[in-house]
Amino acid sequence: MPLIAPSILAADFANLQRDVEMLNRSAADYIHVDIMDGRFVPNISFGLPVCAAVKRHAEKPLDVHLMIVEPDKYLEDFRKAGADIITVHFETCPNLHRTLQHIKELGALASVAINPHTPVVFLSEVLGDVFQVLIMSVNPGFGGQNFIENTYRKVRELVELRADAGVSFDIEVDGGVNGQNAQLLVDAGADVLVAGSFVFNSADPLAIISGLKNNLSS
C-alpha cells in the first residue's frame, strides 16, 4: 500500500484552510508543499508564510519540496515554518551531502529530488543519507503536466541501486500521477505518490485519495 501525498499546489488558494482540513480527514499520509522561486523553475508558487499557515491547520506531516536555488540559505527557516520532510534538488546542491546532513541536524527528514533529465545513478553516493528520493515525472514548475513515461524505468533503476547499496529509503514520484499510471508506478517500486491536479480537480477528492491509498497493491 503506497503512501499518498496530495500537493496543495493544486488546491484552491483562496480556501487553503478548507482544503488542508479536507486533507486532514482524508487517507493521505503527507501534505506535499511545492516551493518555487521563479529561478530554478519558471514559476513562483509560495514561500515561508504560506508554509507556516498550512502547518497551523495540518494534522499530517508536511512534505516540503524546495524547487529553489541556494536552498541551504532557507533550510532552517522552512524547518521553523513546519517542514517535517525537506526535499532539495540534486541540481541545486553543489555540496549535497552537507546539505542533507544539515536537514537532519535541524530535526527534519532529509530527501533529495532529481529532474527528469538527471540519471538516478548520480545519487549513488548519498543513498545512505536520505529518508526519501523524489523522482520528478514532469519538468518541475507547473502543475497539471503530462506524465513522462521514462519514469517507470528510473524507478526500477533506483530500486536496484537501493538493493545493491543495502540501504532503506522511500521512493517518491511527483508529477502527472493519476488513475492510469498510479498502479504502474507502485508495480515499478514507488513507495510514495504525489498527486495534485488528479486530487483537487476531481468532484470528490476524498474518494480519489482513498482510492489511491487503498486500491493499489504494492
Indicate which residues carry an active-site annotation.
34, 174
How far is the C-alpha of 166 from the C-alpha of 150, rounded, in Å? Answer: 25
How far is the C-alpha of 68 from the C-alpha of 88, rounded, in Å? Answer: 8
How many other CB atoms are found less than 10 A from the CB of residue 216? 19
